[in-house]
Amino acid sequence: MTCVVVMGGSLGGLTAALTLRDIGCEVTVYERSPGPLVGQGAGIVLNPATVRYFTTRPGFDLDSVSMAPHWVRYMDQTGGTVHEAPCPYRFSSYNALYRGLLDCFEAERYHLGAAVIGFDQDNDGVNVQLAGGRRDRCDLLVCADGIRSTARRLLLPELALAYAGYIAWRGTVSPAELDPQIYATLHRAVTYHIRSDGHLLVYPIPVVDQAPGATTPQLHLNWLWYRNVAPGPALDELMTDRAGVARDLSLPPGMVQEGHLAQMRADAVRLPPPLAEIIHSTAQPFIQVIVDLEPPQMAFGRVCLIGDAAFVARPHAAAGTAKAAEDAWTLSTAVAEAGGDVIAALRRWEPGQLQLGQRLVARTRETGRRFQFESTWHEGAPLPFGLYEVGDSAMPG
Ligand SMILES: Cc1cc2nc3c(=O)[nH]c(=O)nc-3n(C[C@H](O)[C@H](O)[C@H](O)COP(=O)(O)OP(=O)(O)OC[C@H]3O[C@@H](n4cnc5c(N)ncnc54)[C@H](O)[C@@H]3O)c2cc1C
């Protein structure tokens, strides 16, 4: 039996653990977080790959983990609709997907508070070192440890995240925080607004597990305002938190300096009224720095990188979770087909996943350039959501 260790127990790691377990591997997951993971509240656009683990089970109801907005809309400067089409996409929340996957995996094989700090391999297996001195040994180590991957740093020390030249101001508001008329306008649609120097979008996210016993997820509105910020002093100053600490990838709610918040809110006055209102109604906007990353390799003998530990794509395609799931599904297929020869499996698996990642990164770079710098994204253009190609995130039904 093939013995597998998965480093990182989020969506990519859990999908790998489950699909490898299902083909007969003995799988152990080590997750660094001391407690079960909790979503950042950003929402997740479904793709068939994201929910394949659920949809291949009989009787599964997509409505139990996601919701379907009615419309894709482009909004003009006055707040009017310039283009509207039926929305083929569904939105979910991190918590719904994580809990669903976690429930399918053996609790005694999912170790929280277990950070992998190193590994080395020989001809027969991989030695895995955990914080605190614990060790494990396996035939295959799957590294699904996310955007700040320790495994990637150990395997590809020269590789660094590349700044895209823009950041996203973000926020989430509940119906109670927003003017009811504006909530009614926005909550059944994915709304884009294109400006000469960037773009905004607003979409509903199902918030699960809010009130104990609640069965229907409440719909919150999530917004992103992509703004260009030159690398160097301007970015460094913006990303210095209230305590004076320089942050690299994000500034969480409550940590953005008051002066930057005030400036962003003042700038928002120039936006279409519903978008200005939603931004002004957000108590604690936060910042995500837009980066990407293209590794030259995902397979290293008996060790592989999957999900955000491998490629990081800009968020425009809304495909990060789908890519992590796809890496996992294709990996388990390759392991099954190689009949226990892990090294051969990874060799066969790698080219397709490299190609997928490269294409996704290239597509999202092009999308970002058109939205943020060239102003060539046309109102009414199909949304850039998709894993292999634009549109493949559409969900049946
Ligand atoms: C807690 C959490 C909440 C998120 N919420 C959202 C959201 O609301 N919307 C959205 O679009 N995306 C969200 N994401 C990101 C999203 O899950 C990923 O971008 C995407 O699904 C790819 O998943 P991944 O498994 O490759 O990486 P990630 O989801 O980033 O998971 C990486 C995991 O590895 C663990 N880890 C890191 N280092 C080690 C180590 N040394 N040893 C063991 N474990 C380690 C991390 O704790 C983390 O759980 C969230 C991620 C996390 C971790």
Q: Each residue of 30-59: pLDDT tens digit?
A: 999 999 999 887 889 999 999 999 998 888
Q: Which of 318, 273, 39, 276 is nearest to 169 (CA)?
A: 276
173, 42 Cβ separation under 8 angstroms: no
Segment 304-331 mean pLDDT: 98
Query: Distance, CA 5 to ligand 1 centroid (Å)?
Result: 17
Give the CA radius of gyration of the chain: 21
Query: Distance, CA 146 to ligand 1 centroid (Å)?
Result: 5
C-alpha neighbours within 13 Å on the C-beta side of residue 217: 24
pLDDT > 70: percent of the chain: 97
Burial class (CB in 10 A: 0-12, 13-18, 19+), 371: buried
Q: Which atom of ligand 1 is nearest to the CA of 15?
A: 25
Segment 310-331 mean pLDDT: 98
pLDDT at residue 219 in the model: 86
Angle of helix 11-22 versus helix 320-337 axis, rounded to 10: 20
What are the phi and psi torsion angles at 307 (to 5°)? Answer: 60, -145
The rounded mean pLDDT for the chain is: 95
303, 6 Cβ separation under 8 angstroms: no
Output DSSP code: residue 132.
T
355, 311 Cβ separation under 8 angstroms: no
Query: Distance, CA 181 to ligand 1 centroid (Å)?
Result: 35
272-287 pLDDT, tens digit per residue, is 999 999 999 999 999 9
Q: Is the CB of 357 under 6 A from ligand 1?
A: no
Q: Is the CB of 51 under 6 A from ligand 1?
A: no
153-204 pLDDT, tens digit per residue, is 999 999 999 999 999 999 999 999 999 999 998 999 999 999 998 999 999 9
pLDDT at residue 135 in the model: 98
Q: Is the CB of 39 under 6 A from ligand 1?
A: yes
Q: Which of 147, 168, 166 is nearest to 222 (CA)?
A: 168
Q: Is the CB of 144 under 6 A from ligand 1?
A: yes
Structure tokens at 60: 């599964």
How far does the chain reach from its first CA to its final CA, in angstroms?
39
Q: Which of 108, 140, 198, 180 is nearest to 340 (CA)?
A: 140
Q: Is the CB of 12 under 6 A from ligand 1?
A: yes
Q: Is the CB of 288 under 6 A from ligand 1?
A: no
Query: Distance, CA 84 to ligand 1 centroid (Å)?
Result: 33
Looking at the predicted structure, is the pLDDT value of residue 61 above 60? yes
371, 199 Cβ separation under 8 angstroms: yes
Q: Name the band, by pLDDT with cuts 50, 70 and 90, for residue 213.
A: low
Q: Which of 265, 267, 222, 270 is nearest to 79 (CA)?
A: 270
In the chain, the amino acid numbered 148 is R
Structure tokens at 110: 């999912």
Q: Is the CB of 324 under 6 A from ligand 1?
A: yes
Q: Which residue has the tokens 């910042």?
A: 287
Query: Distance, CA 269 to ligand 1 centroid (Å)?
Result: 34
Q: Which atom of ligand 1 is nearest to the CA of 307?
A: 26
d(CA 4, CA 22): 12
Helix (H, G, I), strand (E, B) or coil at 153: helix
Mutation choice for ligand 1 from 11, 19, 53, 153, CB with most ligand atoms inside 8 A: 11
Mutation choice for ligand 1 from 94, 305, 361, CB with most ligand atoms inside 8 A: 94
Q: Is the CB of 116 under 6 A from ligand 1?
A: yes
Q: Is the CB of 153 under 6 A from ligand 1?
A: no
Structure tokens at 121: 């391999």
Q: Is the CB of 217 under 6 A from ligand 1?
A: no
Question: Atom 29 (ligand 1): residue with closest C-alpha?
Answer: 10
Q: Which of 7, 39, 82, 119 is nearest to 321 (CA)?
A: 39
pLDDT at residue 40 in the model: 83
Structure tokens at 79: 């707040």
Q: Is the CB of 139 under 6 A from ligand 1?
A: no
Segment 107-123 mean pLDDT: 98
Q: Which of 22, 41, 174 is nearest to 105 (CA)?
A: 22
147, 161 Cβ separation under 8 angstroms: yes
pLDDT at residue 212 in the model: 47
> Which domains are delineated in the chain?
3-46+94-160+292-371 (3.50.50.60), 62-90+162-291 (3.30.9.60)
Query: Distance, CA 13 to ligand 1 centroid (Å)?
Result: 9
247-276 pLDDT, tens digit per residue, is 999 999 999 999 999 999 999 999 999 999
Query: Distance, CA 11 to ligand 1 centroid (Å)?
Result: 7
215-244 pLDDT, tens digit per residue, is 566 789 999 999 999 999 999 999 999 999
367, 292 Cβ separation under 8 angstroms: no
Q: Which atom of ligand 1 is nearest to the CA of 115?
A: 42
Alpha helices in 91-168 (DSSP H): 94-103, 150-155
Residue 175 CA, chain-centre distance (Å), reads 24
